[in-house]
Structure 1
Amino acid sequence: MVAAADAQNFAEKLGITHGLVVQELGWDEDADDDLRADIEEVSGSEMVDENSDEVVDAVLLWWRDGDGDLADELMDVISPLSDDGFIWVLTPKTGQPGHVDPSEIAEAAPTAGLTQTSVISLGAWVGSRLVQPKAPSKQR
């Protein structure tokens, strides 16, 4: 089963490990169900939705052109995120319906107080990893 093995690699590429609490936002019919299933398999639990009040380790944000203001959405997404948590903004690849120009993510991230650390290919989707900058440690 090649597709499952590839998707499993996708979950690993996303940095998903057992025990992480993953929140999924922006799901729609076009979301990659194999990727979603493998994230749940690797993490060992179902992803939580926008109604959850849990602190989350990772956010999977499916984002398409026309979904609204990405910077505003990212500011909302940060609220439940743990200090060392990360966000993956998943957008359709170039040429796909709903494609988002990478510059939109590059501009929205710093507005929301986030830093983009990497971009990976995930089948028909592109994942952009965003993190909160580490605060300088306080010396006493």
Structure 2
Amino acid sequence: MDGCSRSGSSFRAGDGDLTDTLVDTQENLEVPGAVFLLTPQQGVEGFVEPAGITTAAKTARLTPATSLAISKERTATRLNTPKR
């Protein structure tokens, strides 16, 4: 199976381990590439603290790049893979 350069995942607080989710999301990802993580915005049930995303990303060998509100309830965070 060929890999892809972008992958995405949705995560809410209470869904389990964010690091595991990010590692699994990278399974077929080419390097360099990016993971787009969708999370609830602050004030919405399931909100994930930005510090938690940063910690999980670093543990999963990803670098947080940018975050953007994509709706009233969701934020998308781009996490880059390390370059070879």
Q: What is the alpha-carbon distance in structure 2 between the residues aligned to residue 118 and residue 99 of structure 1?
A: 17
Correspondence 1:3-22 to 2 at 5 A: none
Q: What is the alpha-carbon distance in structure 2 between the residues aligned to residue 132 and residue 85 of structure 1?
A: 5
Quickly say closer, same or farther: Cα 1:54–1:97, change in 2 above 3 A. Answer: farther
Match of 1:130 in 2: 79
Q: Higher strand fraction: Structure 1 or Structure 2? A: 2
Q: Are 2:20 and 1:72 equivalent residues in the alignment?
A: yes
Q: Give a deviation string over 1:115-136, Cα, whole Å, max 9, x none.
A: 011111111211111011112x
TM-score, normalization by structure 1: 0.56
Unaligned runs of at least 5 residues, structure 2: none
Report how far residue 83 of structure 1 moved. Answer: 1.3
Match of 2:7 in 1: 59
User: Max radius of gyration: which structure?
Assistant: 1
Q: Higher helix fraction: Structure 1 or Structure 2? A: 1
Report how far residue 97 of structure 1 moved. Answer: 1.2
**Identity, % of aligned positions:** 35
Match of 2:44 in 1: 96
- Does 1 or 2 have the higher relative contact order (CA < 8 Å, sep 6+)? 2
Report how far residue 84 of structure 1 moved. Answer: 2.4
Report how far residue 54 of structure 1 moved. Answer: 4.7
- Please identify runs of 4+ aligned residues in structure 1 that moved more than 6 A: none
Return the letter of the residue paired with 1:110: K
